[in-house]
Amino acid sequence: MKNRTLILSALVAGAFGSAHAAEDLSAKVEKLVASSFKPGEGQDMSRLAQDETQKLCSKYRNNPPAKDADAITKRERATIKYPDGNKLMGDWKNGEKLAKGGFGMRIGAIEPDPAAKQKGGNGGNCYACHALDPKEVAAGNIGPSLTGYGALRGASDDIVTYTYDKLYNAQATVACSSMPRMGHNGILTPAQVADITAYLVSPESPLNQK
């Protein structure tokens, strides 16, 4: 939803060109978007409303000024929660399952996910955007390849913490990152984020085997 303003800006610039017209069109589009999704089982209607960070990213087309970028990362970093005992490296085998499964909290009236699976229920659908296990051919390329992630970076405390934070809330490290805020939005629990962290970093993980 965070690119909504980009569409509005293009429409307004081409067809209207005034601040009043922009506000009027914005209100109409917001109403249209809201009416396109029907409440019911499996529908998380709260996702239709942008939070402060999403509004800023839309306003600046995902390229905010340094001051706003700093404000975003500071605010988002404050949302990060860690597992019990602050153990950021979990079970890489479970992390492998979580990376391969899940729908990332999709919404829609055609086939909504059961409520039990929407948040912390099944996985992060990581392969939709990233290549991970080199043996898996069905992988996305929207995000960078994560094959050999730990082999290239090592498994220092700094790398583990960075990886966990990035998975939990990507905007805590890069303002207006296009990566979903997995932990922040409840798609993954802190323990699950730790499991995927281990999958990426652990030397035993198939990602890091030559």
Residues 89, 156, single domain; the answer is yes
Residues 23, 119, single domain; the answer is no
Cβ atoms of 94 and 200 closer than 8 Å: no
Cα 10 from Cα 82, distance rounded (Å): 41
- Tell me whether residue 143 is in a domain: yes
First to last CA, the chain: 39
- Tell me whether residue 134 is in a domain: yes
The CATH number linked to 193 is 1.10.760.10
pLDDT of residue 208: 94
- Tell me whether residue 46 is in a domain: no
Cα 84 from Cα 114, distance rounded (Å): 27
Report residue 78 as tokens.
């404050």
- Tell me whether residue 55 is in a domain: no
3-state DSSP assignment of residue 189: coil
Residues 24, 90, single domain; the answer is no
Nearest Cα neighbor of 56 from 13, 2, 7, 1 is 2
Residues 30, 108, single domain; the answer is no
- Tell me whether residue 30 is in a domain: yes
Cα 71 from Cα 45, distance rounded (Å): 27
pLDDT of residue 23: 65
Residues 92, 177, single domain; the answer is yes
Percent of the chain past pLDDT 70, that is, above it, reads 77
- Tell me whether residue 68 is in a domain: no
Cα 51 from Cα 36, distance rounded (Å): 19
Does residue 58 surpass a pLDDT of 70? yes
144: which residues sit within 8 A by CB, 6+ positions away?
130
Global pTM value: 0.80
Residues 97, 186, single domain; the answer is yes
- Tell me whether residue 72 is in a domain: no
Name the band, by pLDDT with cuts 50, 70 and 90, for residue 174: very high
Does residue 195 surpass a pLDDT of 90? yes
**pLDDT digits 0-9 by tens, 5-52:** 555 555 545 554 555 566 677 778 878 877 877 776 656 677 778 899
Residues 111, 184, single domain; the answer is yes
Domain count within the chain: 2
Helix axis angle, 190-201 relative to 157-168, nearest 10°?
130
**Domain range enclosing 124:** 84-208
- Tell me whether residue 47 is in a domain: no
Q: Taking the CA of residue 152 as centre, how many other CA atoms within 13 Å lie in the half-sphere pointing to its CB?
A: 7
pLDDT of residue 69: 97
For the residues 182-192, what does the mean pLDDT come to? 91
- Residue 60 carries which side chain, given as an amino acid letter? Y
**pLDDT digits 0-9 by tens, 80-133:** 999 999 999 999 999 999 998 876 555 554 555 565 555 555 688 899 899 999
Cα 8 from Cα 58, distance rounded (Å): 10
**Average pLDDT for the chain:** 84
Cα 155 from Cα 160, distance rounded (Å): 6
Residues 32, 90, single domain; the answer is no
Residues 90, 188, single domain; the answer is yes
Report residue 84 as tokens.
């019990």
Percent of the chain past pLDDT 90, that is, above it, reads 58
Residues 29, 103, single domain; the answer is no
Residues 103, 182, single domain; the answer is yes
Report residue 169 as tokens.
């809330």
Residues 17, 90, single domain; the answer is no
